[in-house]
Structure 1
Amino acid sequence: MLIIKILVHIPLFNKAATILRAINSVCNQDYTNFDLLIIDDGSTDESLDLIKHFKSDRILIYSQENTGVSATRNCALKFAIDKHYDGIAFLDADDYWWPNHLSLLTQLFTKFPEAQAVASNYNLKRSRKTLETQWSGFKNEKDQLLEHFFEHNYLNSICTCSTLMIKTEAIEKVGFFNEQVTHFEDIDWFTKIGMNLKVAFSFRVTTIIDETAENRSDQTDMNNRCLPDFSCYETEIKKHQGLQKYLDLNRFSIALAYRMENDIRNAAFYQQKINLRNLSLKQQKLLLMSGLQLKSLKHTQKIFGNLGWHLRTGN
């Protein structure tokens, strides 16, 4: 197996309930050639106090005034470049890894040397059960280099900020997170990865994404979110198979979230950019419902779950 030096990054903001679980899942990895960089982004709870007791040369703890998750992740990307790490892997403070996570991702780089980013499968932890993730566009469940990246992202995101590792040398091709965006900043960055890098994927589950955790960004009021409109990628559609549908499905998610809040103006902004042929009839009908009707279908996540579509909103 290829031996590479990995920087693991956990962005931290008011995650006292889950941060120790996340750190322990990193420390328990069976692949040990890594350092862990935790950047506390101005937490106002006891998060920073909880992690100070970790005594290890491999655990680096930085603290800064609150700048947002995109700026925090960018600090980690620049740190990886400056310190000459071979790759950087992300873990959100809500989530946790199984002990074989880093070894599996490293194996993917060994198996597919042309890959510049790799990701593994994950389960979604919800209030009553843990769900297997549904995927699109696969003919088999073998480890594989993705020929048409975007076609595999129609139901859920192949990449997440808890399952992805990217080679440090490839960061220049992708660029950094958009610091003006507070939600869907990860999807925006993954779009650039899909357009610019070769990505390898494994169906083996190595991560639990905990959607029951407190203080998740998907609980933020829609009026306090800054979202991408994806217009900058329109000129790339003809170059990348599946990109237009991928963008439209993300626009659908955002438009539906705005409709839930009866914000018709912002919902219409995203809806008018959607090619309806890329939505199912059920999805099209949802876009015609009022906020009251949508709320009668209970929680937004349940709506998306019944559609086989997972709303992705960052950490």
Structure 2
Amino acid sequence: MIIKTLVHIPLYNKATTIVRTLNSVFDQNYKDFDILIINDGSTDESLELVKNINHHRIIIHSQENKGVSATRNNAILFARENNYKRIAFLDGDDFWCSNHLSTLCALFDKFPEAHIAATNYQLKRSRKTIDTVLSNFESTEDQLLKSFFHHNYLNSIFTCSTLMIKPEIVDKTGLFNESLTHFEDIDWFVRIGMKSKIAFSFRVTAVIDEIADNRSDQVEMKYRKLPDFTDYEAEAKNHLGLEKYIDLNRFAIALAYRMENDIRNTTLYQQKINLKNLSLKQQQLLKMSSLQLKSLKRTQKVLGNLGLHLRAGD
């Protein structure tokens, strides 16, 4: 019998967290799933740790290092080829509460027209685990979103570790852009927000670990390949909140480049921003020098206080 739900975990040098991540999947109340782990050329003991678990639900594929976008795309294609009806994503350093999959499946049952289901989450930072703050909600009941972008002005309404999708939705949204190393999830979220129906629960069912080792936010800015969102500008008039959503992400990228004193790339992003979409505090930050920004502590803290985070992907 083909199990209908696939859990996908991309694996690249997650030896310190992968067992915790997997245990959170095994502990799910909902049990009708397989776990596809795609080892993306790990050079630490991640793969050996997974093999030692030897659980009947685990399927392991290995590939040369291609990046998280290619890894997730391969998982989506695997789900389609093997008739899985739903696929849930989980990064190798994040973890789920025991009700995560059951909550997502319940959302699809409640809103069968939805192509994407997502739940709320917490952020693990240093010694604290903090709640997310979301924008422009009138109710905390389970709901089908009328405007995805309108709800993303503080924290992102979802991350890849909190999503479940019906694999056929990629016929409309396309796959992840494999040319991007960072913000590849945001680029995909734009297409999701424009072309799919999203069911959302305020129930917190996942923890995003922002202090784990080997996260992509530790890569220097000069080595990152980032979207500029230009391809989506023409659609802004057709989707409530899209322009502001794009500009807030451009702001985050521009600020990170300014922290590195990379004026050329800062300008490339900053000149495309409609300043009406930024708060006064955000506009002031863009006028500061690299030295001034660093005096405000680290980039992540500055952006974190604004609800924006320079982390994406694996």
TM-score (norm 1): 0.97
Preserved CA contact (<8 Å) 1:125 1:211: yes
Structure-1 separation of matches of 2:265 and 2:307? 24
Structure-2 separation of matches of 1:304 and 1:56? 40
Deviation at 1:197, TM superposition (A): 0.3
Deviations 1:193-221 (A, max 9, x none): 10000001111000000011011000100
SS in 1 for 2:48: helix
Q: Give, as a single letter, the amino acid of the residue that structure 2 aligns with 1:113.
A: P
Preserved CA contact (<8 Å) 2:216 2:311: no
Deviation at 1:172, TM superposition (A): 1.1
* Structure 1 unmatched runs, 5+: none
Preserved CA contact (<8 Å) 2:38 2:62: yes
Structure-1 separation of matches of 2:305 and 2:192? 28
Deviations 1:123-142 (A, max 9, x none): 00010211100100101211
Structure-1 separation of matches of 2:10 and 2:83? 20
Preserved CA contact (<8 Å) 1:122 1:163: yes
Q: Give, as a single letter, the amino acid of the residue that structure 1 aligns with 2:17.
A: T
2:276: which partner in 1? 277
1:6: which partner in 2? 5
1:298: which partner in 2? 297
1:233: which partner in 2? 232
Structure-1 separation of matches of 2:183 and 2:8? 19
1:142: which partner in 2? 141
Deviations 1:20-56 (A, max 9, x none): 0111111111111111000010011111111111223
| C-alpha spacing 1:110/1:75, structure 2 compared with 1 (3 Å) | same
Structure-2 separation of matches of 1:143 and 1:291? 43
Deviations 1:95-139 (A, max 9, x none): 000111000000000111111101000000010211100100101
Structure-2 separation of matches of 1:156 and 1:285? 20
**49-58 vs 172-181, greater mean Cα deviation:** 49-58
Deviation at 1:191, TM superposition (A): 0.8
SS in 2 for 1:266: helix
Deviation at 1:292, TM superposition (A): 0.8
Q: Give, as a single letter, the amino acid of the residue that structure 2 aligns with 1:173.
A: K
Structure-1 separation of matches of 2:307 and 2:49? 37
Preserved CA contact (<8 Å) 1:155 1:310: no
1:208: which partner in 2? 207
1:220: which partner in 2? 219
Deviation at 1:306, TM superposition (A): 2.0
Structure-2 separation of matches of 1:236 and 1:70? 24
Structure-1 separation of matches of 2:16 and 2:165? 28
State the Cα RMSD in Å. Answer: 1.0
Deviation at 1:308, TM superposition (A): 3.2
Number of aligned residues: 312
Q: Give, as a single letter, the amino acid of the residue that structure 1 aligns with 2:138.
A: K
1:65: which partner in 2? 64
Structure-2 separation of matches of 1:273 and 1:257? 16
SS in 2 for 1:204: strand
Q: Give, as a single letter, the amino acid of the residue that structure 2 aligns with 1:306.
A: N
Query: Superposition pairs for residues 1-315 of structure 1, below 5 Å?
Result: 5-315=4-314
Preserved CA contact (<8 Å) 2:150 2:241: yes
Structure-1 separation of matches of 2:49 and 2:61? 14
Structure-1 separation of matches of 2:165 and 2:109? 13
Preserved CA contact (<8 Å) 1:100 1:206: yes
Deviation at 1:235, TM superposition (A): 1.3
Q: Give, as a single letter, the amino acid of the residue that structure 1 aligns with 2:265.
A: N
Deviation at 1:309, TM superposition (A): 3.0
* Structure 2 unmatched runs, 5+: none
Preserved CA contact (<8 Å) 2:135 2:153: yes
